[in-house]
Amino acid sequence: MGNKIIGWVSNMEKTGGRENKYERLVFVTGPARSGTTLLNRILCSGNNHIQFPECTIITTIIKTMVRHNSATPDRFQAYFGSEDTKLQIYRTHIDNVISNLLRDQPHKFGLVLKDPDIALYFNEYRALFPEAYFVFIVRDPRDVVASRKDVVLRKNLEFTLDHVLETVKVDFNRMAARHRSLINDPQVAFVRYEDLVHSTEASIKYLENFVGTTLSRELNGQSNSKDNPFSTPISTSGRVSEDSAGSFQSRLTEAERDIAQNALAYQIRFADNVSHIGKT
């Protein structure tokens, strides 16, 4: 199936005009509150990449595609006939959405789209976009818990530590499985949020090597730490402000820190061991 889709995509690129807008498609994903926005802004720094809001519309289309499976053979056969045809129909639909998105944009080297939920539907994204590159971001899960707590409290909702710990555990277990299966994939990269913060220059060089173009050391857009704590500009020293790391030490109570430490022991070890520093 993969070769058929790749051939079909190549033919579309010859006739559909998508190459007139961008040469490389990059998807950014990771557990919610892990720093996908900061990573997206770094990748879109300078003038080589096009940046847009989260591609939740594309993910919603893919969710619909997933529901249209062969569990009801008569309907599936009538409307699609085969998985290849279904993929072609949905890819055409998504390409139309992207073409409209890019309607007023000049040619750029790359188009970067981000959504934390891409991680949930990675296999479907990969099947639809075999030419795409994917960057996963991983962050200390205790900081993810703390950041999700902040979001809940800002909305004046009740914060339940056990519930947040369970969702974080599920997200990171899924990420660990992806890491094991994709670590040597040339179209997939994993980066640590802490490396972006503390080793920004090395991180940018790693990302430049991965996406195949130069990135600026100045982030585009305005920072708004209240609405988006990860949108923090790179300082003149070439490092992201350490305040943007959102240390769980100051965001969680001592009791919450102890519970999170014990509940997320495996996930913490996984996050500690995911590093791109020193790799080329």
| Residue matched to tokens 């909702």 | 157
- Cβ-contact 206, 199 below 8 angstroms: no
- Cβ-contact 135, 43 below 8 angstroms: yes
Q: What is the rounded distance in angstroms from the CA atom of residue 148 to the CA atom of residue 167?
A: 10
Q: How confident is the model at residue 246 (pLDDT cuts 50, 70, 90)?
A: low
pLDDT digits (tens, 9 = 90+) for 82-106: 889 999 999 999 999 999 988 888 7
pLDDT at position 142 is: 95
Mean predicted confidence (pLDDT) in 53-58: 93
Mean predicted confidence (pLDDT) in 68-77: 79
Mean predicted confidence (pLDDT) in 188-203: 91
Q: Give the SS3 label for residue 249.
A: helix
Token representation of residue 80? 């699609």
* DSSP string of 6-72, one letter each residue: HHHHHHHHHHH-GGGTEEEEEEEE-STTSSHHHHHHHHT-TTSEEE-S--HHHHHHHHHHHHSSTTS
Averaged confidence pLDDT in the chain: 82
Q: How confident is the model at residue 219 (pLDDT cuts 50, 70, 90)?
A: low
Is residue 228 over pLDDT 60? no
End-to-end CA, the chain = 31
Among 168, 128, 131, 177, CA closest to 149: 168
Is residue 132 over pLDDT 70? yes
Q: Give Dmax over CA atoms of the chain in angstroms.
A: 62
Domain 24-273 has CATH 3.40.50.300: yes
Q: What is the rounded distance in angstroms from the CA atom of residue 125 to the CA atom of residue 231?
A: 26
